[in-house]
Amino acid sequence: MSAVVLPPNAHVTVLLQEAVDALEIKAGGVYVDGTFGRGGHSRALLARLGPQGRLIAFDRDPAAIAAGRALGDARLTLVHSAFSAFDEVLDGLGVAQVDGVVLDLGVSSPQLDDAARGMSFRFDAPLDMRMDTSRGQTVADWLAEASVGEMTEVIRDYGEERFAHAIAKAIATARTGGAVATTGQLAAIVEKAVRTREPGQHPATRTFQALRIFINQELEELTRVLPACVRRLGTGGRLAVISFHSLEDRIVKRFMRDESRPPVLPARLPIRAADLPQPRLRLVGKAARPGAAEVAANPRSRSAVMRIAERTEVPA
């Protein structure tokens, strides 16, 4: 059998069946795909929903929303918005509770592979990096005005880059001769500033990751949406979150861990363990990762980790 050759910018959904299986789909349920992308999870969810089922899908990227409209499924409601507007959007749709939520975090292959988006140093293109190209500040705009201290903090904290200060100083020096406006310019500046790098990794990898995460406020968005998901889940509803780097996964892991534990009360308080408030979540299984076959077919999946939790009984 010949191998299937995908288009260069095709998006291969990671842990597709595992995520959909984890949600334990009810045919008539209401579900949320917080990151539509190119619709991998949404299509799989719709395939399991019955005629009365409903799917609400968020995405910040206008191109993703356009791709979603082509599905033409009346059960699907597409929302051009960051998922941090979870509560506001569901209120506007008259949806009080949902049966499951999937969040596939990070950047999609079409965004990485489209040179015009400026998210990859593989192409020399305008330094944009916005997930929502219809609003907000580009990375080039931010670099033009950020101080060395601000750039250092972003590159260090969001990219876990040990040469952050040297990179920030190099950018500040370079912009005195004109704007750092393209991915090629930035990659060249970083390459000269970084003295050593892990084998097989481009010197600019961590800096590009940091600037993308920062300009899109990805970690802040995640921190805001997780509590909203739990508030909206009905009893037995599932939350599945797929992360692609340690900063995201750390937030998800700690949130699910804390929400699955009883509240910590003063040691001498006369309350029996049985009378403590029930945690809002129950952890489901261990963290799941792609198997060897999936990683071989889609190398970008290698860093993925999925965590699942279930809503405990919702008080009446």
Does the annotation place 83 within a ligand binding site? yes
Q: How far apart are CA 36 and CA 71, in angstroms?
A: 12
Does the annotation place 202 within a ligand binding site? no
Does the annotation place 141 within a ligand binding site? no
Name the phi and psi angles at 57, rounded to 5. -120, 130
Q: How far apart are CA 87 and CA 90, in angstroms?
A: 5
- What does the block give as tokens for 282? 């129950």
Give the 3-state DSSP-derived string for the chain, with helices as H, strands as E and coil as C.
CCCCCCCCCCCCCCCHHHHHHHCCCCCCCEEEECCCCCCHHHHHHHHHCCCCCEEEEEECCHHHHHHHHCCCCCCEEEEECCHHHHHHHHHHHCCCCEEEEEEECCCCHHHHHCHHHCCCCCCCCECCCCCCCCCCCCHHHHHHHCCHHHHHHHHHHHHCCCCHHHHHHHHHHHHHHCCCCEHHHHHHHHHHHCCCCCCCCCCCHHHHHHHHHHHCCHHHHHHHHHHHHHHHEEEEEEEEEEECCHHHHHHHHHHHHHHCCCCCCCCCCCCCHHHCCCCCEEECCCCECCCHHHHHHCHHHCCCEEEEEEECCCCC
Does the annotation place 217 within a ligand binding site? no
Does the annotation place 214 within a ligand binding site? no
Q: How far apart are CA 32 and CA 42, in angstroms?
A: 9
Does the annotation place 136 within a ligand binding site? no
Q: Which residues are annotated as a binding site for S-adenosyl-L-methionine?
A: 39-41, 59, 83, 104, 111
Task: Could you list the residues known to form a binding site, using ranges.
Answer: 39-41, 59, 83, 104, 111
